[in-house]
Amino acid sequence: MKKLALVILMGIYALMPVAKADEGMWLLMFMDQQTYKDMKAKGLKLSSKQIYDINNASLKDAIIQFGRGCTGEIVSDQGLILTNHHCGYSSIQYHSTVDHDYLSNGFWAYNKSEELPTPGLTAKFFIRMEDVTDEVLKGVTPSSSEQDRREIVRKNSQKIVERTTKDNGYTAEVATMFNGNQYILFVYQIYKDVRLVGAPPSSIGKFGSDTDNWMWPRHTCDFSVFRVYADKDGKPAEYSKDNVPLKPKHYLPVSIKGVKNNDFAMIMGYPGTTDRFLPSAGVEQAIDVYNPSVVTARAALREVMDKDMKADNKVRIQYAAKFASLSNYWKFYIGQTQCLNRLNVYNTKLETENRFAKWIKEDKTGNREKEYGDVLKTINDYYASTSEYDYLRVYTNEAILRGSSVFTITRMLKPVVDKIQAGATEEEVLSMVENLKSSIDNVFKDYNESTEEKLLSAGLDVYFRNVPMTLQSPEFLSLAFKYGYKFDDIAEDIFKNSHLVTKEKLDAAYAAHDLSEIKNDPAYILYCQIINNYADKMHSINEQRDQFNRANRLFVKGIMEMDKDKKAFAPNANLTIRYTYGNVKNYNPKDGVTYNYYTTLDGVMDKEDNSSWEFTVPAKLRQLWEAKDFGQYAEDGTIHTCFITNNDITGGNSGSPTINAKGELIGLAFDGNWEAMSGNIAFNPDMQRCISVDIRYVLFIIDKFAGAKNLIDEMKIVK
């Protein structure tokens, strides 16, 4: 097995010296072998040790995973964090009320005592990484079944994590790379006291909102400010008034020198998911099934929320974060489908597979045929026979689990019911419930009963209409028939009779110790019918999925072996820390059109439309613009608002620092561009652009608009 792992890694490492600059979310530990020479040629002034060093402070120590799905950066010696406004949005919403509407009006702490603790928000610092492929695959043989392989990998990974985190306060994960051909250990330290420090009003932080989302030119000042706290020894601790601002190992200097076209630019962060090895059949499924299904499900839920939010200011605040989350990837999948078609990604993938088939046949030894001969057929057969299951998967997740919060509460309580049915004592049950109470209370904090009933109806309706009948629960179909397929009536009856639909009813059940009756609750019964059916149906294709996983792993290995002299490969993004590098760069989206690499505050005023909440401009911002009161942040008599680079990013990179050749912060990455929405599946170097808010616009808003000079004074400003 060790020899097999060595062969795989030799194939991967053989690709390193010829790395392509524009494409690639690269692993820091391989920088010297893969990209450093090219980075220097493009203008980088730092040594590789200044970027990643496990023994000394380096650039990586200033980069955090912010919460569960964004990136942030430390910009002062007092633990000050910058990230995107949309990354901090749920925290801003958490602290907002009708009387203190921080979403609409913004929030600023002018001293540390005014900073707002935010329960559940974390800052995860990266410590080090290590290639553990040999150890993870120890015991795996070519004849191992997929089930046996998974169990061996799981147990070996668990041993590595336990050894790595013993008695040091760290957390760790073993992440798979190249579809299971490589395994990397990542070690982290997680801080749990993160406080809201500042946020512009949404008219600045979300300027353009859905209309401008994923678009260039862009004028959004997409930032928010937080601070990470530690105990007196600098260690992670739960919130306490005695905690102190963290003294970081490294923080980013902030440059106000500006950027020019072709300047070096690097981004570090936690990109979420890419699938650059997706085969042609997977592209076809994305175009025909997955993407339109996500759009359809989210559109139905968005319509309900949007109507109720416009009718009630309290509901607007309660559902602001949920609506924004729905909307972001609702529009993304519309754009991705268009791009996949326009750029003919299916045929590009098919050409690669045809080359792969030819490469197998060219081997006179027969070794390639033996290892890879059935790969393409297995992959294509899997997609052909299981495509309809994608409807079940998408609509269960998007319409049911992402729909009404009553199912969120039901999902939380199901383990309690399972425990009761397994014969647990009353003490054990009450302990479980006590542990759940704060999480359930958080759900009810942003919960409007009327809206949730409508969301339940809309989710059930869109699920019923789009999941193949043969894959739906017979009990659910009987229920729908009984009500004449009137899902409003089903939802109404559930909300009349369920104990799970209001905090008061659920609290009454707690008080009466009547939790055993949850199993007979109509909301619980419906949830179980849908989820148990989903589990049963998906279990029925486990064997096919195992065959597909094996074939897909071999396909990736074979592609890298086939193209080892022509291409370099970075592993798909998977929420582990990566860096990407390139240049500030304009582009030509279509014939006769050239987009400049930056936008200005003048463009904000050009877009101003105070009849639309998306394009409302605060009076003070207009006054500053008219007076040209830009302080030290101006260039050419105005404020540069955003700029674009050809860095390779995806979701999860939101809030990532855009860094210049000297390791100074020049912007915050927050979006991609419409012409390259297929980038998660197929990178297009001519079109792919990362949109960043210019750090000078951020500082201008903090300083001149908000008057929070206390924050400016914390930072190391480089002029």
Phi, psi of 537 (to 5 degrees): -65, -45
C-alpha of 595 from chain center: 27
Q: Please tell me the distance from the alpha carbon of residue 710 to that of residue 282, in angstroms, as a whole number.
A: 51
Phi, psi of 145 (to 5 degrees): -70, 160
Nearest to 268 by CA among 561, 579, 554: 579
Angle at the Cα of 88 (from 86 to 91), degrees rounded to 5? 125
Q: DSSP characters for 89-112?
A: HHHHHHT--SSS-HHHH-EE-SSG
> Which one from 22, 61, 193, 222 is the annotated catalytic residue?
222
Q: Which residues contact 658 (CB under 8 A, 6 or more apart)?
A: 265, 266, 267, 645, 647, 665, 666, 667, 668, 669, 690, 692
Q: Please tell me the distance from the alpha carbon of residue 184 to that of residue 279, in angstroms, as a whole number.
A: 24
Q: Is 212 a catalytic residue?
A: no
Nearest to 421 by CA among 296, 542, 519: 519
Q: Is 654 a catalytic residue?
A: yes
Q: The tokens 């030819």 sit on which residue? A: 358
Angle at the Cα of 317 (from 314 to 319), degrees rounded to 5? 105
Q: Are 279 and 548 in contact (CB under 8 A)?
A: no
Phi, psi of 498 (to 5 degrees): -85, 145
C-alpha of 669 from chain center: 13
Q: Please tell me the distance from the alpha carbon of residue 657 to that of residue 65, in angstroms, as a whole number.
A: 12
Angle at the Cα of 530 (from 527 to 536), degrees rounded to 5? 130
Long-range CB pairs of 414-420 (<8 Å, 24+ gap) are: 414/524, 414/527, 414/528, 416/515, 416/518, 417/515, 417/516, 417/518, 417/519, 417/524, 420/515, 420/516, 420/519
Q: Please tell me the distance from the alpha carbon of residue 166 to that of residue 163, in angstroms, as a whole number.
A: 6
Q: The tokens 């072998």 sit on which residue? A: 33
Element (H, E) at 505: helix 503-511
Handedness of CA 600, 603, 605, 608 (dihedral sign): negative
Nearest to 340 by CA among 278, 272, 271, 394: 278
Helix (H, G, I), strand (E, B), or coil: what is residue 430? helix
Q: Please tell me the distance from the alpha carbon of residue 593 to that of residue 232, in angstroms, as a whole number.
A: 57
> Which one from 85, 86, 499, 640 is the annotated catalytic residue?
86
> Which one from 654, 656, 678, 692 is the annotated catalytic residue?
654
Q: Is 86 a catalytic residue?
A: yes
Q: Are 85 and 106 in contact (CB under 8 A)?
A: no
Q: Are 319 and 327 in contact (CB under 8 A)?
A: no
Determine the angle formed by the axes of helices 313-342 and 291-311, rounding to 10 degrees.
Answer: 160
Q: DSSP characters for 360-380?
A: HHH-TTSHHHHHHTTHHHHHH
66 to 268, 293, 393, 697: CA distances (angstroms): 13, 29, 28, 22
Catalytic residues: 86, 222, 654
